Structure 1
Amino acid sequence: MASFTRLQVYQTLLENPIMPIFHHNDLEVAKKILTACYEGGIRICEFTNRGDYAHETYSELRKFGKKNFPDLVVGAGTIVDAASATLFIQLGADFVVAPVLHQDVAITCNRRKIAWMPGCFTLSEISKAEEWGAEIVKLFPGQASSPDFVKAIKGPMPWTDIVVTGGVEPTEASLKSWFDAGARGVGIGSQLFPKALVEANEWQTIADKITEAVRVAKSLQA
């Protein structure tokens, strides 16, 4: 079962606005990515349900995280149906992230009191997600949207908390544009751990890169 309550997950994300998003079929590599994230100051991250046997990798990775980084919140992403949500919740997912908005996923997560962050792209989808109990919504794909869109949403719906995923770079300029618009957090994938650095086992370089991104993000939200 989850190691953190819904409220703890939401609070962790709001206090730690960068959420790394990653997947790797090799469990040992996934462990090293998770370790680099933690050493870089990350306290919440998302492992995506992509590729064959992703649930098996997640299960072992979650056990590794609980043992070595007990204060690290680890969720499951790319969850598009209730069956997948149920499976990953059974494997210990602290929260569930979806690229789309499906009520069956909402019902499954709410029944188990698991934090749920659905992917939304319109104001109507965001409103529907909140109606179904989402405390934080994921704006996806971010690269097809803009900070102006977030700012426009916060006008009529100032209570809406948005995490932007897709197209966000771990640079001060990119982070500032989204945070200034009102985003409460960002999900960043391969830009935090480029494939070349992973293949070269440059884990300290990756951790340093993450450390700098975390520093910038927190300074912008201070």
Structure 2
Amino acid sequence: MAKFDKIAVLAKMGETGVVPVFYHKDAEVAKQVVKACYDGGIRAFEFTNRGDFAHEVFAEVVKFAAKECPEMAMGVGSIVDPATAALYIQLGACFVVGPLFNPEVSRVCNRRLVPYTPGCGTVSEVGAAQETGCDLCKCFPGDVLGTKFVKGLLAPMPWTKLMVTGGVEPTKENIE
């Protein structure tokens, strides 16, 4: 399976400015979506842990991606606990994303040198995540926090790397 170092994974996540987030219970459908994204230039893909047996689907998709999409960093999203993070890392996840910040997930990911992008809704959560080694934080839910939150956070903490998700649309307000 394709494995990339932490810096390479974060670079892939930032290259296009888009990380598709997707789940489907049918591995064949998920494979087709990953391949279409890859053919379109995407190099980081987040498979969400949302359905029954999602880890089994992910295992198939990550093996497919290693062969058919060799430069794709396959990650997993919707991770809230360290045991689930460890399971997906064992299955080949190159990065872990969560809807919330869990320092124990950060510990598991750091031990394996796998980037962890936790969901953060306050400046304090972003700061706490950074202190545990999170290089990229997810502003979630993006449609609630909005662009003012991002601008306000970056003013005193310009080194912060953010990924805004959840209800974000390509409107003039979100682009400026």
Unaligned runs of 5+ in 1: 181-222
Matches within 5 A, 1:44-63: 44-63=44-63
1:146 aligned partner, one-letter code: G
Higher relative contact order (CA 8 A, sep 6+): 1
* Residue of structure 2 equivalent to 1:134: 134
Give the conservation status (yes or no) of the 8 Å contact 1:19–1:45: yes
CA distance in 2, matches of 1:71, 1:136: 20
* Residue of structure 2 equivalent to 1:87: 87
How far apart are 1:178 and its partner, in Å? 3.9
Structure number with larger C-alpha Rg: 1
How many percent of aligned residue pairs carry the same amino acid? 48
How far apart are 1:41 and its partner, in Å? 1.6
Moved over 4 A (4+): none
User: More displaced, 63-72 or 30-39?
Assistant: 30-39
How far apart are 1:72 and its partner, in Å? 0.8
CA distance in 2, matches of 1:6, 1:16: 17
* Residue of structure 1 equivalent to 2:18: 18
Unaligned runs of 5+ in 2: none
Q: Please, what TM-score do these two structures have when normalized by structure 1?
A: 0.76
Q: Does 1:28 align with 2:28?
A: yes
Q: Give me the CA root mean square deviation.
A: 1.3
CA distance in 2, matches of 1:8, 1:45: 14
CA distance in 2, matches of 1:107, 1:2: 23
* Residue of structure 1 equivalent to 2:168: 168
CA distance in 2, matches of 1:43, 1:146: 26
- Per the alignment, do residues 2 and 89 of structure 1 end up closer, same or farther by CA in structure 2, a change over 3 Å counting? farther
